[in-house]
Amino acid sequence: MIFRTASFQDLDAATLYALLKLRVDVFVVEQSCPYPELDGRDGEPGTRHLWYEVDRKPVAYLRMLEDAEPGGPVCRIGRVVTAPEARGDGLAGQLLTAALAAVGDRPAVLDAQSHLAKFYAKYGFAASGPEFLEDGIPHVPMRRG
């Protein structure tokens, strides 16, 4: 198991394809949620991609974006995903720990699938607004710091 992190510009085509495939396999196919997974934000300046891979195949992933808010910039964590065969190994938590170490004392936000809000609370996130539906799946906005 190897931990990796890269900007969009540092991703080679095969790695980018594998990361996007993992996201589509889980968010679109497994969760039966047809939506535009490729949202145009992967290549934005400041975006970081973090993942674990086995034999060059990503098994867990998350994306860090820089978002502007009225109080200043925040890190938006999203696309947190683990391949079915790697679930239960704590990889999402390890990625989140790595992301939050990079964030430091800056605020971080995310939109958690509602059934995962307690998971994110273990990392210091708290609900910051009412539950909402995103592509038919209940989510709750959360903030840390």
DSSP structure class, residue 85: G
pLDDT digits (tens, 9 = 90+) for 65-100: 999 888 889 999 999 999 999 999 999 999 999 999
Report whether 64 contacts 77 (CB < 8 A): yes
Rounded Cα gap, residues 108 and 101, in angstroms: 11
Rounded Cα gap, residues 20 and 58, in angstroms: 10
In order along its 145 residues, the chain shows pLDDT tens digits of 999 999 999 999 999 999 999 999 888 877 777 777 888 899 999 999 999 999 999 999 999 999 988 888 999 999 999 999 999 999 999 999 999 999 999 999 999 999 999 999 999 999 999 999 987 889 999 999 8
- Decide: helix, strand or coil at residue 61: strand
pLDDT number for residue 33 = 75
Q: Token digits for 52?
A: 């674990």
Contacts of residue 31, Cβ cutoff 8 Å, sequence gap at least 6: 137
Distance of CA 99 to the CA centre of its chain: 9
pLDDT number for residue 91 = 96
CA angle in degrees (0–180, nearest 5) for 120-109-38: 100
pLDDT number for residue 39 = 86
Other CB atoms within 10 Å distance of the CB of residue 99: 21
Contacts of residue 10, Cβ cutoff 8 Å, sequence gap at least 6: none
pTM summary value: 0.91
